[in-house]
Amino acid sequence: ELKVEQNPLFLSMQEGKNYTIYCNYSTTSDRLYWYRQDPGKSLESLFVLLSNGAVKQEGRLMASLDTKARLSTLHITAAVHDLSATYFCAVATFTNFGNEKLTFGTGTRLTIIP
């Protein structure tokens, strides 16, 4: 059974600081997604990482994937209040017919303090 672990689960950080959220998973996969969820809202897709060594950046967020280590990171640079949200990673596995399923991590609730 695939396990997807995120840490930390809760993170409070000051504006302007840098930090990294980690996503570890227990089985082979070379496809991973990051999502953002604001309180009471749905999930918004942030990044799709499709191969070992993939790196994607959007604004103050950068995601990377190391499939050999079974690890993805979401790095936040110079945090601003608008980044306060819960962030989920989701690991893709495939059925016998090649269709994709996602297993989600438990989420990291990020609070940016002015």
Partner 1 sequence: DADVTQTPRNRITKTGKRIMLECSQTKGHDRMYWYRQDPGLGLRLIYYSFDVKDINKGEISDGYSVSRQAQAKFSLSLESAIPNQTALYFCATSDFRGRQFFGPGTRLTVL
**Least CB distance to partner 1 at residue 76 (A):** 20
State residue 3 phi and psi, 5-degree precision: -115, 135
Q: Note whether 93 binds partner 1 by CB under 8 A.
A: no
Q: Note whether 88 binds partner 1 by CB under 8 A.
A: yes
Cβ closest to partner 1, residue 17 vs residue 41: 41
Q: Note whether 99 binds partner 1 by CB under 8 A.
A: yes
- Mask for 47-86, x = binds partner 1 (CB under 8 A): -x--------------------------------------
Per-residue burial over 61-71, b = 16 or more CB atoms within 10 Å of its CB, e = otherwise: bbbbbebeebe
